[in-house]
Chain A
């Protein structure tokens, strides 16, 4: 519910800034996570990430549905949703934060910029402060953003039974790829 309010607030803010050239969004962002162990590799992808970026303030919001992660094996997906993420109880994960070194980016000049991102990451109902490095590729009316960072399931109270613990790396490598487009509200 809290997330829904945030999204509605963002949507309202966007709708009120018809003239603004600083609001970007995507509904088809990509996030994947990868775990490598001697037993097996586990990778899941989600191509339905919704995210907003305000280039004037550096504010960033991401939200994903746990059910939208796709696994190569149906059993992995079932375990992920039912046992680990408890998707019925915690259907969403989100990040609310900002580009902390916004001055290093010239959004009027196409190019690639290295940035630092900091904020609060909520997974499985647990919120933690996180920091990550990222890269923004600025182009006319669109911005691509990428970042790679690590997440430890135990930090988010995700319990992995000891019988399958050897199948999971202690840290998951998370890759984020956003394809922001300038938000142009309907007239």
Chain B
């Protein structure tokens, strides 16, 4: 009987350690999944995405907000800011789709970004944040 109690106590302690370990990892150590390992929720052209937001911003935000998109379009412009982030604009300079490749990803994709030119067709993966004057896509990477 005593042996059984000790065994149960041991299992309870191990479970508590496992829960505490998971909580610590989940809260403090968990890293964001890299964009290249995220599966796209939608494959859509940048024109169609902007059109969807223009028709109904609310409906489009509900459908695409926070989702990973694989966007295909021609490049309007490519710009790098002082913090090393690269902005790839699609459809229109002001009322289009703005894709931000953050500085860390921009270093990893230096070659792919250097090859981007205005007018060229591009496929970009990123997370849709919503719409201001333009549809904002963050955590982007160049797929091809």
A residues neighboring B (CB under 8 Å) = 1, 3-4, 7-8, 10-11, 14, 25, 27-28, 30, 47-48, 50, 63-65, 67-68, 70, 73-75, 81, 88, 91-92, 179, 186
CA distance A116 to B30 in the complex (A): 42
CA distance A67 to B137 in the complex (A): 10
Contact of A50 among B62, B79, B134 (CB under 8 A): B134
Interface-lining segment among B12-20, B36-44, B90-98, B113-121: B90-98
Q: Contacts A70-B102, A74-B30: A92 and B132 contacting too (C-beta < 8 A)?
A: yes
The reply on B111 being an interface residue by CB < 8 A is no
Does A67 contact B130, Cβ atoms closer than 8 Å? yes
User: What's the least CB distance linking B86 to chain A, in Å?
Assistant: 10
Q: Which residue of A lies closest to B85 (CB)?
A: A47
User: What's the least CB distance linking A122 to chain B, in Å?
Assistant: 13
Q: For A91, list chain B residues within 8 Å (CB).
A: 61, 65, 130
Q: Chain A contact residues: over half helix, strand or loop, or mixed?
A: mixed
CA distance A46 to B132 in the complex (A): 14
10 intermolecular pairs with C-beta atoms under 8 Å apart: A7-B132, A14-B94, A27-B132, A28-B98, A64-B132, A67-B129, A68-B129, A73-B28, A92-B130, A179-B82
Does A68 contact B136, Cβ atoms closer than 8 Å? yes
User: What's the least CB distance linking B135 to chain A, in Å?
Assistant: 10
User: What's the least CB distance linking A86 to chain B, in Å?
Assistant: 13
Does B138 contact A11, Cβ atoms closer than 8 Å? no
User: What's the least CB distance linking B55 to chain A, in Å?
Assistant: 12
Does B57 contact A1, Cβ atoms closer than 8 Å? yes
Q: For A1, list chain B residues within 8 Å (CB).
A: 57-58
B residues neighboring A (CB under 8 Å) = 26-28, 30-32, 57-58, 61-62, 65-66, 79, 81-83, 85, 87, 89, 93-95, 98, 100, 102, 127, 129-134, 136, 138
Q: Contacts A7-B133, A28-B81: A75 and B100 contacting too (C-beta < 8 A)?
A: no
CA distance A80 to B94 in the complex (A): 28
User: What's the least CB distance linking B45 to chain A, in Å?
Assistant: 20
Does A74 contact B32, Cβ atoms closer than 8 Å? yes
Does A28 contact B136, Cβ atoms closer than 8 Å? no
Q: Which residue of B lies closest to A185 (CB)?
A: B94
Q: Which residue of A lies closest to B27 (CB)?
A: A75
Does B81 contact A27, Cβ atoms closer than 8 Å? no
Q: For A81, list chain B residues within 8 Å (CB).
A: 66
Q: Which residue of B lies closest to A77 (CB)?
A: B32
Does A30 contact B83, Cβ atoms closer than 8 Å? yes
Does B130 contact A65, Cβ atoms closer than 8 Å? yes
User: What's the least CB distance linking B95 to chain A, in Å?
Assistant: 6
Q: Which residue of A lies closest to B84 (CB)?
A: A47
User: What's the least CB distance linking B124 to chain A, in Å?
Assistant: 15
User: What's the least CB distance linking A108 to chain B, in Å?
Assistant: 25
Q: Contacts A74-B30, A186-B93: A47 and B132 contacting too (C-beta < 8 A)?
A: no
CA distance A124 to B74 in the complex (A): 35
Does B133 contact A47, Cβ atoms closer than 8 Å? no
